Amino acid sequence: MAERDIILSLDIGTSNIKLAAVDKTGEIVRLHKRALRLKCPQPGYQEICPTELWDDIESLFKSTCEGIESRIAALGISTHRSTFITWERDTDNYLHNFITWADQRAQKMCDNWNNAYIVRIGQSILQAVGTVVGSTHMICIANFKVQSANAMMRLKWVMENIAAAKPLHDKGNLCFGTLDTWIIYKLTGKATWATDYTNAAATGLYDMWGDRWCPAMSWVFSLPFGALPEVRNSNASFGQISSELNLGFSAPIHGILADQQASVFGNHLFEKGDVKLSLGTSIACDRLTGSYVHPVAMSVYPQIAWKLAGSEIVYMAESMTMELRGKYLDWLVSAKLVDSIKEINNIALSVKSSETPLFIKKDGVNEKPIEEFMVEKSNCTNAHFVRAVMEAHVFRAKILLDDVFDFYGRTDKIIVDGGASSSQFILESLCAVTGIDVYRSNCVEGALMGAFYVTGLGLGWWNTLEDIKLFTELTQISPLKEEDGCTLLEKFKKWKTLTNY
């Protein structure tokens, strides 16, 4: 009988679905992916059809696992956060498509709440009392801003606009699930309806101080408290993949992490103070805070990094862009400024920074010519525009780092991963503009590997986090040589003023 020496790692990102087969040495022996099919039925709406998603997941399982079914020990899952669906418990009928974290249908509801006079007065009182008594919990509530990226207001929208939602909840027949919860529910043949701490906390509905779904939040926003799933440790058992699915194998699901947390875990950042910058579809800066729950400050929010069996919860502070900055690099191709992303490094280095305009667009990509968002663009070529977009990517990352550093102080080094980290120009520019040691992670698939490692811990492949650290590989980046007399830091200050970040 073949040794069960492979963990399957499923990652549902913002843009792609990936499934990897990873062996005990940490080598990815197979990797297949598909584009995540997004739907935009109305302006500001972004959805995922559950039927299409399940078809894609099934297809990935069959193509990835063919011939290695007997070697599969377990499945780990990483998903992007706060995308959710609701369904009828008895029939499994969906009430709507998945509503993604980038969906804006509830933005007006968020604005109305944040600007309400009674809310602002209440938060001012909490801020004063929390400061006097030293309560991080009070200060966090006082500074909390409801965002559409969290699930709470989008779920409130569902309860107010989907006719079947409230009657089903009143009968105890409504189920809520983020991507991980729904995938587990489907894979286990409805046997497990659960999530992990990282995905629960990211919804905005979880009380990180009380370690439970927050009943006060449910009451304040009229949310279906009884429709929320069980919360388990990140390396807990989440049930067995049902043999009735005809995937060719059955294995336990033994690790769940949200995507950013999985990326931190996959890059072996386990110590308090460790900082990771993710340059993916969005940009995120995460700093581990150990047992300390970070109070909401500026654009930095607390998250649960993970909760392992037999250990305390580990927290992190996170600053993240809501705009999809990574799409701007793809825009360079669609705007025909470059033939492929692989060319951008050489093109950017073919012109001087002092001759390059400033790219000041803040919201999503649209149909207007890219040069309309350039400042000081006289006598500029396509190469100048390419460099300007890449420099803006670096500047936006620095904003997030500065937000975290303003609260915790500067760190000696940062680890960078994500698709844009493959750009030597971006990393060298980041090193130059921050003055911090920058290391590129050689773990290209951070989220996939994070799900792999946490699942391996659940299986007992490793006993401690120190065992996992043996897999660490990093490459230090040298700062960009600025030979034309125009420093990136000077340009950053001007860019920041123009964009009003």
Rounded to whole angstroms, how far apart are CA atoms 143 and 182? 32
40's CB contacts (< 8 A; 6+ apart) are: 46, 47
Angle, CA of 155, 156 and 162, to the nearest 5°: 80
> Percentage of the chain with pLDDT > 90?
56
pLDDT in tens, 131-189: 888 787 777 777 778 888 889 999 999 999 999 999 999 999 999 999 999 999 999 99
Tokens 């969005």 -> residue: 282
Q: Element (H or E) spanning 341, and its range?
A: none
Q: Which residue has the tokens 């099919």?
A: 37
What pLDDT band is residue 383 in, cutting at 50, 70 and 90?
Answer: confident
Phi, psi of 66, rounded to the nearest 5 degrees = -60, 120
What is the rounded average pLDDT of the residues 458-472? 90
Side chain identity at 454, as an amino acid letter? V
> Is pLDDT at 364 greater than 60 in this prediction?
no
| Torsion sign (Cα): 366, 368, 370, 376 | negative
Q: Provide the pairing of β-strand 275-279 with 283-290.
A: antiparallel
Closest by Cα among 8, 89, 74, 83 to 236: 74
Q: pLDDT at residue 367 above 60? A: no
Task: For residues 427-444, give the mean pLDDT.
Answer: 90
Render pLDDT for 307-328 as a digit per residue (tens, 0 to 9): 999 999 999 999 887 666 667 7
Q: How far apart are CA 53 and CA 99, in angstroms?
A: 13
Q: Are strands 230-232 and 194-196 parallel, antiparallel or unpaired?
A: parallel
Closest C-alpha among 160, 145, 6 to residue 71: 6
As given in the structure block, the two tokens for residue 146 are: 């409801």
- The answer, yes or no, to whether residue 289 has pLDDT greater than 90, is yes
Residue 109 has which token pair?
A: 């509801």
- Which strands form 300-306's sheet, in the order they lie side by side? 300-306, 314-320, 283-290, 275-279, 413-417, 437-441, 474-477
pTM of the model: 0.91
* Cα separation, 78 vs 80, whole angstroms: 7
Rounded Cα gap, residues 310 and 149, in angstroms: 31
- Mean of the pLDDT values across residues 49-70? 95
Answer whether 293's CB lies under 8 Å from 144's CB.
no
Mean pLDDT of the residues in the chain = 89
10 Å CB burial of residue 216 (0-12, 13-18, 19+) is exposed
Q: How many other C-beta atoms are found inside a 10 Å radius of the C-beta of residue 191?
A: 12
CA pair distance 229, 213, nearest whole angstrom: 9
Residue 297 has pLDDT above 60, yes or no: yes
- How confident is the model at residue 281, as a pLDDT? 75
pLDDT category at 481 given cuts 50, 70, 90 is: confident
The answer to whether 259 and 83 have CB atoms below 8 angstroms apart is: no
* CB neighbourhood size of 463 (10 A): 9
Q: With 80 as the cut, is the pLDDT of residue 352 above it? A: yes
- What pLDDT, on a 0 to 100 scale, did the predictor assign at position 388? 87
Percent pLDDT > 70 in the chain is: 95
| E strand or H helix at 329 | helix 326-334
- Give CA angle at 348 (346, 352), nearest 5°: 120
pLDDT tops 70 at residue 73: yes
Q: Give yes or no for residue 1 having a pLDDT over 60.
A: no
Q: Which two tokens stand for residue 126?
A: 């909490």
* Spatial contact of 79 and 199, defined as CB atoms under 8 Å apart: yes
Say what the pLDDT of residue 415 is.
94
Q: Give pLDDT, residue 248.
A: 84
Say which amino acid occupies 152.
M
Average pLDDT over residues 186-197: 97
Task: Work out the average pLDDT over 60-85.
Answer: 95
Q: At residue 60, does pLDDT exceed 70?
A: yes
Tokens standing for 386?
A: 């390419």
Angle between helices 326-334 and 382-408 (to 10 degrees): 180
Using the structure block, give the residue that is written with the tokens 């959805």. 47
The predicted pLDDT at position 501 comes to 78
Check if the beta carbon of residue 50 is closer than 8 Å to that of residue 186. Answer: no
Q: Name the 3-class secondary structure at 362.
A: coil
- CA dihedral (36, 201, 316, 308) in degrees, to 10, reads -90
Q: What was the pLDDT predicted at 280?
A: 80
**Over the stretch 206-239, which tens digit does the pLDDT of each residue have?**
998 888 999 988 888 899 999 999 999 999 999 9
**First-to-last CA distance in the chain?**
59
pLDDT at 299: 79
CA proximity to 234, closest of 208, 270, 210, 258: 258
The values of phi and psi at residue 350, to 5°, are -80, -10
pLDDT per residue as tens digits for the range 5-47:
999 999 999 889 999 999 999 999 999 999 999 999 999 999 9
Token digits for 52? Answer: 């299409």
